[in-house]
Amino acid sequence: MLSPQTIEIIKATTPAVAQTGPALTAHFYERMFHHNPELKDIFNMSNQRNGDQREALFNAICAYATHIDNLAALLPAVEKIAHKHTSFMITAEQYAIVGGHLLATIDELLAPGQEVLDAWGEAYGLLANIFIKREAEIYSDNAAKQGGWQGLREFVITDKKAESEVITSFTLKPVDGGSVAPFRPGQYLGVYLHPEEFDNQEIRQYSLSSAPQADQYRISVKREEGGLVSGYLHQQVQIGDTINVVPPAGDFFLDLAPSAPVALISAGVGLTPTLSMLESLTEHQAPVRWLHAAENGSHHAFREYVADLAEHHPHISSHTWYRQPRDCDQPDRDFQFEGMMDLNAVAEMLSEPDMHYYFCGPVGFMQSIAKQLLALGIAEDRLHYECFGPHKVL
């Protein structure tokens, strides 16, 4: 536990830290990568360039400092980040490196004095130990599962299939021929790539896009404009190639009683975790609502597959929005609604009192969905969402 004096110092200096804004995290990352360039093999450098990782770190620092006297309020965020850290194979030694650069950054930007630096060091140490302990549990749990492991494991690409003009699926099986660790629908797989043309090792997390299977995983990847890793996977990786992966992780997953109705809401490649959920709900005892938004038919992945699931399982209903349908896209066959997703159009089927709502897609889309659901009177504790990349609060 932190001493009352440390808590008082942290809360008193938090406004000064917050006022530094992005300058603090920019200085921190530049300093860290200068002194420890090996960490470029762990951090997503694309998120460094677009500022997403810096924003996420700044928000995390401010949230921790604000709740320094009520750490229980941070536990959901700790769980989310701990899962992400295990997919990067973060170690206790790396926490020490990060902590050293964080304190040096505060000193170099604010020069607050040794007493303040000691307080922030004590607070960081407490938080780091919380993460280290939880991540050790996750590593151990993953290794103990049937088909589980810790660290990198080599998988071979056994199938590569274009699901739309921008999304391609990859089926992966262990090179060692063994089984794979089970996962909870909605979780992701950590993928490690370092071909000769990459300056650094690149690590990405891709949602598992099928229900759990005993001997293989499937990920479905969107080709991002200018995306280094997604472009490599789409254009270079072929059947028979091998990649390294770490065990499934993530705190966004299906957790329902068999009698609970559920709405799975997605846009674009955000359907990958919800598709895994949908496959797992084919024998569910309650209604399952599949709501998806796509640009048009050329971007609509898994259209025929979802339609077939709905046709053969009466408790599943499917509705799709196309923002700008093509001339060849047929209403009622390819899509039901035109424009942005408006939940008022299907409000009746979302009104079951025990329904839970899982949604994923671009941040703007998820902000809109959360706002619409709350406007329909849905309790916030029944809303569950996932952000691809650094976490953002809706």
Q: Which residues are annotated as a binding site for NADP(+)?
A: 268-273
Q: Return the closest-CA partner of residue 282 out of 325, 323, 312.
A: 312
Residue stretches of the annotated binding site for heme b: 85
The helix/strand/coil state of 282 is coil
Question: Strand 217-222 and strand 383-386: pairing?
Answer: unpaired
Of the candidates 64, 135, 139, 192, the residue annotated as catalytic is 135
Handedness of CA 375, 381, 382, 384 (dihedral sign): positive
Distance (Å, whole) CA 357 – CA 265: 7
Q: Identity (one letter) of the amino acid at 85? A: H
Residue stretches of the annotated binding site: 85, 188, 204-207, 268-273, 387-390
> Which strand ranges, in their side-by-side order, compose the sheet holding 202-207?
202-207, 188-193, 242-249, 153-162, 167-174, 217-222
The contacts of residue 103 (CB under 8 Å, 6+ apart) are 117, 120, 121, 124
Residue stretches of the annotated binding site for FAD: 188, 204-207, 387-390
Of the candidates 95, 192, 322, 385, the residue annotated as catalytic is 95
Length of the chain: 394
How many CA atoms lie less than 13 Å away from 212 in the CB half-sphere?
17
Nearest 5°: the CA angle 253, 258, 264 is 45
Based on the residue annotation, tell me whether 135 is a catalytic residue of this protein: yes
CA separation, residue 317 to residues 288, 335, 338, 373 (Å): 6, 13, 18, 18
For the chain, what percentages of helix, strand and coil (3-state, to nearest 5) are there? 45, 20, 35
Distance (Å, whole) CA 328 – CA 304: 16
Based on the residue annotation, tell me whether 224 is a catalytic residue of this protein: no
Per-residue tokens: 132? 């280290």
The catalytic residues are: 95, 135
